Amino acid sequence: MKLRSLVLALSLAGAAFGATSTWAADTAPQEVKNIVLVHGLFADASSWSKVIPLLQAKGLHVTAVQNPTTSLDDDVAAVNRALAQQDGPVILVGHSYGGMVISQAGDAEKVKGLVYIAARAPEAGEDYPALTKRFPAAPAGTGLQWSADGYGMLSENAFVNDFAGDLRLDSASTAANAQAFAST
């Protein structure tokens, strides 16, 4: 699939997320058959379960990375492991905090483009806490609950109403109760 056709496929598949994209320096049409999907905080790789079959139906090889969400470095390492397994050029797709992760991993040789879906799109190495202070706090942040050992998760109310407010209530509630803890 040509890179520009892939953008359309990802845009359609990610429409529920409000997709935006940015491109690596080399934007000449290329055969790209590998998509690596990177989830954000408070989610896991299964959050891509409705997108994966849409991309596969376009003939693409799709990998959804299971980020440990213990640190940005750990998440980038997980993406780099997934990139090493790809046979050929890759488009990296990041949702929410996953945008931070793909910005860091996006300079890998196989990566031909980055797609940010409802995500911050920082420069590689940009300081995440400094970046977040430049924008209003996300509404879901008021429901952030911290464990004694420094891991956070959203209250079910914040998750259902603010984080996953565009999902059906039963789907949002299920996701809220399966959310992954995130490290500070």
CATH value at residue 67: 3.40.50.1820
Q: What is the pLDDT of residue 30?
A: 60
- Tens-place pLDDT, residues 59-80: 999 999 999 999 999 999 999 9
Q: What is the pLDDT of residue 18?
A: 38
**pLDDT exceeds cutoff 80 at 93:** yes
pTM of the complete model: 0.80
Same structural domain for residues 31 and 105?
yes
- Does the residue 129 lie in any domain? no
What phi and psi values does residue 83 have, to the nearest 5 degrees?
-65, -40
Counting Cβ atoms within 10 Å, is residue 127 exposed (0-12), middle (13-18) or buried (19+)? exposed
CA 98/CA 72 separation, integer angstroms: 9
- Does the residue 133 lie in any domain? no
DSSP 184: -
Exposure string over 57-82, b if 16+ CB within 10 A, otherwise e = ebebbbbbbebebeebeebbbbbeeb
Q: What is the pLDDT of residue 6?
A: 46
Q: Which of 4-8, 66-70, 154-158 has the lowest mean pLDDT?
A: 4-8
Same structural domain for residues 75 and 159?
no
Place of tokens 């992954």: 180
H/E stretch holding 157: helix 156-158
Task: Give the domain extent around 14.
Answer: 3-117
Q: Specify which residues 143 forms β-bridges with.
A: none
The encoded tokens of residue 61 equal 């090889």
123 versus 71: which is more confidently predicted?
71
Residues of the chain with pLDDT > 70: what percent? 83
CA proximity to 31, closest of 60, 8, 62: 60
**pLDDT exceeds cutoff 70 at 177:** yes
